[in-house]
């Protein structure tokens, strides 16, 4: 009898196991539609398991710090899991009950490189093909790969989808769409960017910092977006990843990567004022296994302007190659070429006043620049990197880049006060050449570690760059012009003669840094880090700062499944080139940057929101006295204590399926401590931006409609009028409205119409800079036809 009972029990258990295995096998073979965004590997595996009704066993330490690509389309649960694990160093194994187990790939396993491949997630989630306005993860703020909610700082990201929807083909257009950032024109072809009231002088490429301390555009603000996956704007001071830099923001331009399958696109575009553009972008595997992948992208644009005799040509070429040296090691090499050739440059803008001290009234199309005036800019870069993934979840990267930026300006513009009676004036001219060569090297390692029974994350590395800036100029000449009001730009180009002035600067920065994210509980995490910087500047400005420590501290606490509170602190360290009355370079501007706020996350990270309060305290801010040294002809500055306060509110992502949004409101005020006087009033205290698109449902699902609005508050600055008196230049608040519509003609062909300044609003892109003004663009449109393959 016992034997019979045993046999019966065995038979029942066998039948149960068989039933479970059969049920699991059927579930594994069932085709489902997955729509999961790129994100942490753990959350992606959980999402697949829930949807596929599968049981997955894994050690949390194995997936800590790892990322997964977006999982989209119809596939089986097994296929979805394998796609999520690709390149992670982990594999899927079947358990006895028919479930799944995630295990490290055994060294003896044979696996082709097209299955086990190293994905480039060191910089965060690649946004291309995600169709999203929000990133899954970012690493630019702390070097740790975190979701926006886990990052204790405001980081705004303009994704590839946002750029494609609104035809953001250059960095200026991206900035115009970025919440909390403003653009100020230096001329009709040159720009400066501001965030939280401070100029943005720090640029990163693929997370590696380069330094720009020039008021001239040197290629950074003329980048064509054909080569970039996304633009990340790190708000506030970013000393942990940048070192020396301003407290407003840092721009990180992240390049596109080769695709694992053959794909690409081509465009033909036409717009108002004879604006024509074309793009070609092709990528894919270069061998049968897919272990070698490449991509090449190029763009050409030829456009006129709403301003008389102003036109511009831009050319861009980008190439990148990835090679899987081993299943866990990848080598990348690439380069880019950007060139911009504008003619009819209005150096300084339109004069504000005539000789009778009345404001000059001319049409928006009036161009004070000469027909031959131009400022050619180009940027060439070469970069290479080596990535390695370890079986224990750690990864490392070594990155080197060489970049050359240059500016050639043969300038001529009506920058003098016109005679109100007869129109007599003068053409200010100048001939300048500047170039900057930058070499940067960075290496770091990142991964999980165990402490007190919990898994934490650590990153440490080194960084260094060398900038060599050289410039030269010829005589600054003034040419007589008979009548300002009848000016059409025609005048003989002057002979500037021999070189009369030279400038040179060398900047060397070396740094070591580390940061760690300590998961104290399931809801509470603390990020601690620091950067030790040695800064040396030679040439015309001599300064040396050794062992400058820039700390960073942040904390996040999850209130529930959707909301978190956070706080962060870092130090400001910004060397300066401004000089005081004794012709001495001011000491570095140092101080503190604080931020606290709330963050929200919904729909598995597809929608993110943040509300931040920030405060920036400066100990030695450079403020102009308005006085020039009579002998050396340089503007005299003084160092002051200042404080900036403000709030930022942002929401980015998918409100519901097929409805994307990016919106933000910013309020900021900077005051001098001693006088309580407002500083940087030529930047708005309040601004609001919103851009959204929605793909219509049902039989109208081939049509996507969208639009946006920019609000800029009142700005003002103090200057001088035609009689030498003090005058306040003031531009009242204004709104700009934009619209877009896209029709999907077929699976591979689409047509998009973008309309900017829909109501044809009159406004200034600069008012008061150099006692001049510049009109913003009137209503314009661009039609883009795109073929995806």
**In the predicted structure, residue 62 carries a pLDDT above the cut 90:** no
What confidence tier does 588 reach under pLDDT thresholds 50, 70, 90? confident
Regarding the domain delimited by 252-321+350-788, which CATH topology (the fold level of the hierarchy) does it fall under? Maltoporin; Chain A (2.40.170)
CB 406 within 8 A of CB 217: no
Distances (CA, A) of 247 to 100, 243, 428, 572, 756: 49, 11, 35, 6, 31
Closest by Cα among 214, 184, 187, 189 to 202 = 214
Check residue 628 and give its pLDDT.
81
CB 275 within 8 A of CB 226: no
Check residue 61 and give its pLDDT.
67
Q: What is the mean pLDDT of the chain?
A: 87
Check residue 202 and give its pLDDT.
86
**Single pTM value for the model:** 0.84
What confidence tier does 426 reach under pLDDT thresholds 50, 70, 90? very high
What confidence tier does 89 reach under pLDDT thresholds 50, 70, 90? confident
Mean pLDDT on 347-372:
92
Q: 62 or 606: which carries more pLDDT confidence?
A: 606
What confidence tier does 212 reach under pLDDT thresholds 50, 70, 90? low
Spatial neighbors of 631 by CB under 8 A, at least 6 apart, are none
**In the predicted structure, residue 12 carries a pLDDT above the cut 80:** no
Distances (CA, A) of 274 to 303, 312, 519: 6, 11, 56
Give the separation between CA 121 and CA 137, rounded to whole angstroms: 9
What tokens were used for 188?
């009709």
The Cβ of residue 18 has, within 10 Å, a number of other Cβ atoms equal to: 11
Mean pLDDT on 772-779:
94
**In the predicted structure, residue 9 carries a pLDDT above the cut 50:** no
Least confident of 3-12, 440-449, 482-491, 508-517: 3-12
Which ranges constitute the DSSP H helices of 290-419? none
Using a pLDDT cut of 90, give the percent of the chain over it: 60
Distances (CA, A) of 587 to 268, 327, 534, 544: 51, 50, 15, 10
Distances (CA, A) of 62 to 40, 118, 453: 12, 16, 14
Give the separation between CA 246 and CA 211, rounded to whole angstroms: 10
**In the predicted structure, residue 14 carries a pLDDT above the cut 90:** no
**In the predicted structure, residue 241 carries a pLDDT above the cut 80:** yes
Check residue 540 and give its pLDDT.
64
Q: Is 27 helix (H, G, I), strand (E, B) or coil?
A: helix
Least confident of 1-5, 180-184, 355-359: 1-5
Q: Return the DSSP state at 43.
A: H
First to last CA, the chain: 71
**In the predicted structure, residue 116 carries a pLDDT above the cut 50:** no
What confidence tier does 98 reach under pLDDT thresholds 50, 70, 90? low
Give the separation between CA 404 and CA 379, rounded to whole angstroms: 6
DSSP bridge pairs for 527? 517, 554
CB 360 within 8 A of CB 354: yes
Spatial neighbors of 257 by CB under 8 A, at least 6 apart, are 120, 126, 128, 229, 295, 320, 322
Check residue 6 and give its pLDDT.
40
Give the separation between CA 475 and CA 496, rounded to whole angstroms: 5
Check residue 542 and give its pLDDT.
74
Extended strands (E) in 58-170: 67-68, 71-76, 90-94, 100-104, 155-158
Give the separation between CA 708 and CA 735, rounded to whole angstroms: 10
Closest by Cα among 515, 530, 398, 385 to 447 = 515
Residues of the chain with CATH 2.40.170.20: 252-321+350-788
What confidence tier does 119 reach under pLDDT thresholds 50, 70, 90? very low
**In the predicted structure, residue 438 carries a pLDDT above the cut 70:** yes
Residue with tokens 């892109």: 765
pLDDT one-digit tens code per residue, 145-197:
999 999 999 999 999 999 999 999 999 999 999 999 999 888 888 888 999 99
Give the separation between CA 344 and CA 310, rounded to whole angstroms: 4
Mean pLDDT on 207-215:
69
Helices (H) and strands (E) in the chain, counts: 7, 44
Q: 25 or 670: which carries more pLDDT confidence?
A: 670
Give the separation between CA 223 and CA 170, rounded to whole angstroms: 6
Mean pLDDT on 660-665:
98
Q: Is 699 helix (H, G, I), strand (E, B) or coil?
A: helix
Q: Return the DSSP state at 189.
A: S
CB 455 within 8 A of CB 448: yes
**In the predicted structure, residue 740 carries a pLDDT above the cut 50:** yes
Residue with tokens 């630019």: 140
Give the separation between CA 405 and CA 468, rounded to whole angstroms: 10
Q: Is 331 helix (H, G, I), strand (E, B) or coil?
A: strand
Check residue 124 and give its pLDDT.
87
pLDDT one-digit tens code per residue, 258-308:
998 899 999 999 999 999 999 999 999 999 999 999 999 999 999 999 999
For 396, counting Cβ atoms within 10 Å of its Cβ (0-12 exposed, 13-18 middle, 19+ buried), the class is middle
Give the separation between CA 749 and CA 740, rounded to whole angstroms: 17
CATH 3.40.50.970 fits 2-104, yes or no: no
**In the predicted structure, residue 511 carries a pLDDT above the cut 60:** yes
How many residues are listed for the chain in this entry? 789
**In the predicted structure, residue 567 carries a pLDDT above the cut 50:** yes
Check residue 581 and give its pLDDT.
84
What tokens were used for 377?
């800019």
Q: Return the DSSP state at 453.
A: T
Give the separation between CA 300 and CA 221, rounded to whole angstroms: 17
Check residue 106 and give its pLDDT.
53
**In the predicted structure, residue 15 carries a pLDDT above the cut 50:** no
What confidence tier does 217 reach under pLDDT thresholds 50, 70, 90? low
Torsion angles phi and psi, residue 372, rounded to 5:
-90, -5
Residue with tokens 């999203």: 132
Which ranges constitute the DSSP H helices of 517-607? none
Closest by Cα among 121, 129, 164 to 145 = 121
What confidence tier does 521 reach under pLDDT thresholds 50, 70, 90? very high
Torsion angles phi and psi, residue 751, rounded to 5:
-130, 130
CATH 1.10.1040.10 fits 155-251, yes or no: no
The Cβ of residue 641 has, within 10 Å, a number of other Cβ atoms equal to: 14
pLDDT one-digit tens code per residue, 670-701:
999 999 999 989 899 999 999 999 999 999 99
**In the predicted structure, residue 368 carries a pLDDT above the cut 90:** yes
**In the predicted structure, residue 13 carries a pLDDT above the cut 90:** no
Mean pLDDT on 442-462:
94
Torsion angles phi and psi, residue 446, rounded to 5:
-150, 145
Closest by Cα among 483, 479, 501, 507 to 492 = 479
Residues of the chain with CATH 3.55.50.30: 2-104
What confidence tier does 583 reach under pLDDT thresholds 50, 70, 90? confident
């Amino acid at each position: 009898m016992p034997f019979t009972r045993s046999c019966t029990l065995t038979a029942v258990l066998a039948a149960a196991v068989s039933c479970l295995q059969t049920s699991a096998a059927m579930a594994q073979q069932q085709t489902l539609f997955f729509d999961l965004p790129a994100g942490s590997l753990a959350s992606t595996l959980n999402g697949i398991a829930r949807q596929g009704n599968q049981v997955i066993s894994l050690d949390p330490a194995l997936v800590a710090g790892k990322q997964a690509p977006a999982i989209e389309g119809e596939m089986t649960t097994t296929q979805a899991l394998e796609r999520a694990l690709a390149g992670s160093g982990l594999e899927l194994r079947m358990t006895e009950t028919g479930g799944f187990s995630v295990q490290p790939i055994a060294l003896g396993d044979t696996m082709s490189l097209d299955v086990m491949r190293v994905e480039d997630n060191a910089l965060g989630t690649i946004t291309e093909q995600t169709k999203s306005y929000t990133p899954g993860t970012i690493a630019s703020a702390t070097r740790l790969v975190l979701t926006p909610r886990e990052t204790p700082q405001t980081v705004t990201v303009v994704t590839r989808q946002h750029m494609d929807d609104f035809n953001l083909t250059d960095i200026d257009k991206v900035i115009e769409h970025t919440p909390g950032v403003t653009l100020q024109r230096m001329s009709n072809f040159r720009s400066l960017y501001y965030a939280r009231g401070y100029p943005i002088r720090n640029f990163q490429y693929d997370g590696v910092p380069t330094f720009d301390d020039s008021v001239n555009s040197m290629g950074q603000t003329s980048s064509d977006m054909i080569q970039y996956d996304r633009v990340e704007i790190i708000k506030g001071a970013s000393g942990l990843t940048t070192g020396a830099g301003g407290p407003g923001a840092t721009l990180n331009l992240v390049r596109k990567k080769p695709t694992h399958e053959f794909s690409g696109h081509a465009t033909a575009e036409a717009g108002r004022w004879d604006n024509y553009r074309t793009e070609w972008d092709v990528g894919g595997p270069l061998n049968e296994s897919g272990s070698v992948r490449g991509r090449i992208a190029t763009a050409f644009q030829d456009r006129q302007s709403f301003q008389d005799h102003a036109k511009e040509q831009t050319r861009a070429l980008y190439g990148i190659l990835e090679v899987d040296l081993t299943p866990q090691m990848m080598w990348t090499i690439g380069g880019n070429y950007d060139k911009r050739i504008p003619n009819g440059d209005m150096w300084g803008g339109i004069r504000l006043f005539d000789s009778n001290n009345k404001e000059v009234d001319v049409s928006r199309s009036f161009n004070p620049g000469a027909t031959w005036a131009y400022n050619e800019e180009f940027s060439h870069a070469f970069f290479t990197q080596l990535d390695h993934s370890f079986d224990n979840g750690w990864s490392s990267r070594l990155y080197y880049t060489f970049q050359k930026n240059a500016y050639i300006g043969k300038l001529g513009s009506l920058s003098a006060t016109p005679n109100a009676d007869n129109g007599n004036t003068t053409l200010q001219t100048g001939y300048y050449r500047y170039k900057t060569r930058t070499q940067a090297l960075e290496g770091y390692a990142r991964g999980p570690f165990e402490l007190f029974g919990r898994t934490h994350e650590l990153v440490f590395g080194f960084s260094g760059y060398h900038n060599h800036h050289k410039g030269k100029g010829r005589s600054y000449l003034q040419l007589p012009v008979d009548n300002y009001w009848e000016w059409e730009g025609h005048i003989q180009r002057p002979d500037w003669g021999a070189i009369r002035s030279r400038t040179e600067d060398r900047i060397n920065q070396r740094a070591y840094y580390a940061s760690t994210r300590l998961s104290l509980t399931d809801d509470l995490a603390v990020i601690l880090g620091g950067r030790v910087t040695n800064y040396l500047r030679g040439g015309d400005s001599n300064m040396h700062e050794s062992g400058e420590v820039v700390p960073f501290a942040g904390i996040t606490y999850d209130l529930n499944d959707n909301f978190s509170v956070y706080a962060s602190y870092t130090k400001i360290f910004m060397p300066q080139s401004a000089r005081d009355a004794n012709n001495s370079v001011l000491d570095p501007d140092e101080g503190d940057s604080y931020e606290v706020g709330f963050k929200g996350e919904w729909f598995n990270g597809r929608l993110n929101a943040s509300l931040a309060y920030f405060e920036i305290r400066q100990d030695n801010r450079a403020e102009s006295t308005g006085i020039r040294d009579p002998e050396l002809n340089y503007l005299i500055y003084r160092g002051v204590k200042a404080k900036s306060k403000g709030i930022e509110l942002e929401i980015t992502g998918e409100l519901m399926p097929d409805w994307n949004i990016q919106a933000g409101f910013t309020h900021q005020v900077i005051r001098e401590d001693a006088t309580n006087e407002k500083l940087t009033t030529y930047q708005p205290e309040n601004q609001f931006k919103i851009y959204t698109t929605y793909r219509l449902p049902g039989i109208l699902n081939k049509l996507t409609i969208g639009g946006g609005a920019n609000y800029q508050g009142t700005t003002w600055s103090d200057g001088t009028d035609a009689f030498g008196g003090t005058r306040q230049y003031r531009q009242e608040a204004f709104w700009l409205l934009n619209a877009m519509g896209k029709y999907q003609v077929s699976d591979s062909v689409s047509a998009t119409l973008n309309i900017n300044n829909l109501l044809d609003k009159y406004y200034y892109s600069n008012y008061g800079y150099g006692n001049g003004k510049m009109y913003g663009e009137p209503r314009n449109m661009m039609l883009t036809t795109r073929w995806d393959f």
